[in-house]
Amino acid sequence: MIEFQVDRHSGVATYLQLVNQVKQALRLGVLEPGDRLPTARAVVEATAINPNTVLKAYRELEREGLVEPRPGRGTFVTRSLSRPEAAADSPLRADLIAWTARAQAAGLGRADILALVEAALADTAPPGAAADGGKAPAPAHPAPTDPADPASAP
């Protein structure tokens, strides 16, 4: 089951944060077709956001063909965005976690690590293509600032 996190200071609309978190869970295989999303009431209780915001997010996911409402039963995932190589238990993810741990051990902050990843994506993108292939959504949570890391200052 997905647990939503809302960052009221991110500058990203709350409903889009929910949409992006569901998409991320679908990409990582945390949510799969047939899984039930939390009820709007449960999300409201956990996050203290307006119920209409949750419903707006769920309608957007429905519009994109990712979920379907079943009256009296809930909202269910209809398709996955996961690819085996992007799953939560994939070797690529394990490699990335190990690399991230090494970067942090070397003293790099979150902003530095994200900048390195962005640069690597740009370096490996085919000529004329966006580094994200035009598929990556805006992050639900921007990188938090780290007072000990001057590079992460807004």
pLDDT of 138: 44
pLDDT of 86: 56
User: What is the CB neighbour count within 10 angstroms for residue 27?
Assistant: 19
- Return the domain boundaries, the chain: 14-77, 90-134
pLDDT of 136: 44
Instruction: Dig out the tokens for 29 from the structure.
Output: 């295989």
User: What is the CB neighbour count within 10 angstroms for residue 91?
Assistant: 9
> Which residues neighbour 84 within 8 Å (Cβ) at sequence distance 6 or greater?
90
pLDDT of 125: 78
Helix, strand counts (H, E) of the chain: 5, 2
- pTM as predicted: 0.60
CATH topology for 14-77 is Arc Repressor Mutant, subunit A (1.10.10)
Per-residue pLDDT of the chain (154 residues; tens, 9 = 90+): 799 999 999 999 999 999 999 999 998 889 999 999 999 999 999 999 999 999 999 999 999 999 999 999 999 999 988 776 655 666 777 888 889 999 999 999 988 888 888 888 888 878 766 544 444 444 444 444 444 444 444 4
CB 75 within 8 A of CB 22: no
